[in-house]
Structure 1
């Protein structure tokens, strides 16, 4: 037990925790992006609103969400601890050492990138997660003719909505839901918020390009057989494709919705 405590309190132990929580957050990014891509469906937000309800009410996913929140907090705390420890270990900052000159910019500025992302997460949660969970978004009713698959949407008042419902009446599927899609549409008409999202996704790109590779190195997957694949996935998938996917959403709603 004492060995385990010593490992977790050591610099290596902290890096292991950072690596594991970081990789878990990477898997979340994939799931979250897949769900958010439903914002691009031309169905007046029905698919996205169904997805939002499912993600917030399906018990296994709700349980994983608490693990997600804990991982974000733990990842941020341990990043701060390691940053402070590293600065104390090198109290005198040289103008330019060979190591600093040869290291990548993102590897030397993970603290700055992480701070930008933390501000982004708080802003994102307050605009969408908090409003959705506190009933501070519009309400909508969808009517889908099952024979033609044509869907019409009508905004509901608070009096006309109690909770998410879906049922069929005379060949028409009726869905009543909180309209998070409309909240997204409204929020991304704010150019300042759009700019914050785009800048944050650039920060996410730099953060993941270094962090993804470093996580596997910390876990011991630094063999020359695996390194090229890890580097490829870290750069092209997590460093480029995922941030572009997330950044495309606010840009789309600001200019085209």
Structure 2
């Protein structure tokens, strides 16, 4: 049972780290939305077209989708294994009885994030790939206008902000949990793992949260 759970945790750690890397790339691409409107429109639409038309990027996108599914499925499997083992709900890190709130509620946080991803894919990925969008002056699909109009809706901004707050808590615990699973949380450099985890989480969470607020209030 312990060996099986460890294998599941390893899959979760590896898929989680891949998703963490993707979030950096995704955020850097989205930061183009903060450029002056005319420049942002052309550049973001060119970027979106590049992602949609590149075969390598498409393959990576399928790997991304598979990683999201695997991450969610293995989280459920771990929960099931641990519930069977001790008859209680799964807690990711049981080394400390006074575990943090996010470590006790990773399932809830993950569910919020998963629901948000469904909405996010529908409003952006589905729109780009399966809807007829107007073209900009460079003959690229005008995804910029879709994003801006979406972020001008206060209720969507609230959902977006709440989802990334959940993601922040999820990332913070998940980062440390993955480090332990992969044997990287050694006392010699545990401090640096903590610093890196906090810096990464702050960069990703605040970066994504700032973009819709900037567009909405601009």
Structure 1-normalised TM-score?
A: 0.78
Q: Report the alpha carbon displacement of residue 43 of structure 1 after superposing the two structures with TM.
A: 4.2
Matching residue of 2:110? 114
- Within 2, Cα distance between the matches of 1:41 and 1:180? 15
3-state secondary structure, aligned to 2:188: coil
- Cα distance in 1 for partners of 2:97, 2:157 equals 34
Q: Give the structure 2 partner of residue 87 of structure 1.
A: 83
CA RMSD of superposed structures (Å):
2.0
- Tell me the residue number matched to 1:47: 43
Aligned mates of 1:61, 1:42 — CA distance in 2: 27
Aligned partner of residue 140 in structure 2, secondary structure:
strand
Question: Could you say which structure has the larger radius of gyration?
Answer: 1
Q: Which residue of 2 aligns with 1:102?
A: 98
Q: Which has the higher strand share?
A: 1
Shift of 1:92: 5.2
Structure 1, 41-50 or 211-220: larger mean CA deviation: 41-50
Distance 1:26 1:85, change over 3 A: same
* Displaced runs of 4 or more, over 4 A: 98-101
- Structure having greater relative contact order (Cα 8 Å, sep ≥ 6): 2
Change (3 A) 1:252 1:89: same
Distance apart, 1:189 and its partner CA: 1.7
- Quote the Cα distance in structure 2 between the aligned partners of 1:81 and 1:21: 15
Deviations 1:52-76 (A, max 9, x none): 1111112222211111110000001
Deviation of 1:101 (Å): 5.1
Mind listing any 5+ residue stretches in structure 1 that lack a counterpart?
1-5, 142-174
Gaps of 5+ in 2: none
